[in-house]
Structure 1
């Protein structure tokens, strides 16, 4: 799985760009504000339908433009296109046909992002860590997306009933049954992949020099008491949920915890160790997906600003084992490319692009 061609129009400060990408490493170098991160952002939009820097499409559209477009061709034969308009409209297309949901994009283009926001996973809210696990489950368990959708539908209906203030036990019971059935299946799929993910993360951390990272433990909390079925937990919490106006029990409250000797990992590990732990988690997620389908694409934003040179090299080595392609940004070409050039082919011959004021040009030697 790799992007062979990436086209952008009116995406932030990039008016037009048409890039031919290589398998292996594609390196985008330029000063801060030049537009290099926007290229990663565009690739991310092709896999998710949205930016990783803004929830508002309008802020991503180039100033004085009515809309943006991003298009890509993949080595699998797929073509993906996303159009976002300033008035809120837009289209998502796969092989020129309208896509029903952004999950279809994600299925075509498994993608991992490493940027400064990625390192908030340890001390962020449960939703951040839950989405890490769910990315893995989504790409491995083909029934997960539908089960999660069914759960969300039932959850929305139960919450609507709770907000009315008066409960028809027969009606709410119907939705609780649907909620429990889908929720139990979601949890079962999550638990299987969590165990595999924990083992993969542990294996990666063992490759690092002896430190507190070797003592990191991962725990999974499913969102309701272990001794109860979800159906029982929903009935028991009904009165309390009525007072709060929403459902407080279920897989939507699940969490993945990282601890060292029982303490939250972010309270014990140094900032550098936390970053390597997150890199290990992201890499382990990709490793699990590789066992079931094509290798994912990695987007790596300014790694020299996040990791020292030794850890950059370790991370590059990890990625080289489980990625099909890397799009990486940096200010200085030598520092950014060094970890990759020390790997074996095709990783040791990055294709270099220079980005300046929204203009992208391929380095002559790499383009030949």
Structure 2
């Protein structure tokens, strides 16, 4: 699914913009601070209900404005709309009807984002990597969202009982059974998805035979010992959990690890190699999703940064197989468009937009 039309108002330094986008590649070029990243951020809000740079909606709203709006029309005809107000209110609409949750937006417009924060997949905390894995599970396994919601409810209830400091065995056992049932389901879905993700990532990395990336291995840790069931792990951990006031085992402690010969990937790879690994991981996730539903949209902030031309071209080839559309930012049109011009149609005819001081204007396609 691609975005045909994008309209936004009062989004950071962009007072108003209305754009017609193409399937394939859309390039947004201009100096730093011009509003290029804000445009990608607005598309992200259209898919998730939030910014990828700030958890506070007020920080994204243009100074002096009462609120912001983002509207998009998809290639299939559906429309999405997000309104965020400075007082904390807002609305989410799909085909002009109220949506009950932001997950409905994500289902309509699956996104993959590659930006400066993407390195946290390697050197950040486990929560970052869990969310990456769960993005793919959510879009592939239809029962995941409900299972994860049930798990979170049971987890919250068990933690509340632990924080009281006095365990009521019968009540605690009720929530532990629910926690174990939903948690085992969540883990089963993750493990099934991980097997496919690992195979897809390995294939992409093996296509880089002269790179240290071809030796990188990814592993999945489910959040409790392999030798026991989740209900057993919860029982074993109960006294320690009571002392700390929270549940220390379960799918909410799961993690992905990236390593080579026992060393963490982010400790042995250069910055450019780390970015290429993240690009491969995001591509592998998209490949899995497009086997089960329509291809996602990629948002790529400053692709030329830290990647040489050969790696940029390799990434462009990968993306052209599993994305419906790419929105890419860069400073110079020539450098930003170069990897895409080497591809076949429609990828070799990027639509170019010039961005400066929050103003966005369409230019002619990049020269072939």
For the aligned pair, the TM-score class normalised by the smaller chain equals over 0.9
Is the contact between residue 207 and residue 214 of structure 2 (CA under 8 Å) also seen in structure 1?
no
Is the contact between residue 116 and residue 306 of structure 1 (CA under 8 Å) also seen in structure 2?
no
Distance 1:313 1:364, change over 3 A: closer
Distance 1:64 1:282, change over 3 A: same
- Deviation of the 1:115 alpha carbon: 0.5
Moved more, 180-189 or 356-365: 356-365
- Deviation of the 1:89 alpha carbon: 0.5
User: 1:1-368 to 2 correspondence within 5 Å?
Assistant: 1-364=1-364
Identify unmatched segments of 5+ residues in structure 2. Answer: none
CA-to-aligned-CA distance 1:174-209 (integer Å, 9 cap, x gap): 010110000000000000110110100010011113
**Distance of 1:163 and 1:209 partners within structure 2:** 52
User: How many residues in Structure 1 have an aligned counterpart in Structure 2?
Assistant: 366
- Deviation of the 1:211 alpha carbon: 2.6
Structure 1 stretches of 4+ with a deviation exceeding 6 A read none
Identify unmatched segments of 5+ residues in structure 1. Answer: none
**Distance of 1:249 and 1:336 partners within structure 2:** 45
**Distance of 1:317 and 1:29 partners within structure 2:** 21
CA-to-aligned-CA distance 1:302-346 (integer Å, 9 cap, x gap): 111131111111101100010000001111000000001111000
**Distance of 2:16 and 2:271 partners within structure 1:** 38
Q: Secondary structure at the match of 2:227?
A: coil
State TM-score, norm by structure 2.
0.98
State TM-score, norm by structure 1.
0.98
**Distance of 1:119 and 1:109 partners within structure 2:** 23
Q: Secondary structure at the match of 2:122?
A: coil
Is the contact between residue 84 and residue 90 of structure 2 (CA under 8 Å) also seen in structure 1?
yes
CA-to-aligned-CA distance 1:67-121 (integer Å, 9 cap, x gap): 0000000012211000000000000111111111111111000100000110221
- Deviation of the 1:264 alpha carbon: 1.1
How large is the Cα RMSD of the aligned pairs? 0.9
Q: Secondary structure at the match of 1:32?
A: coil
Distance 1:18 1:172, change over 3 A: same
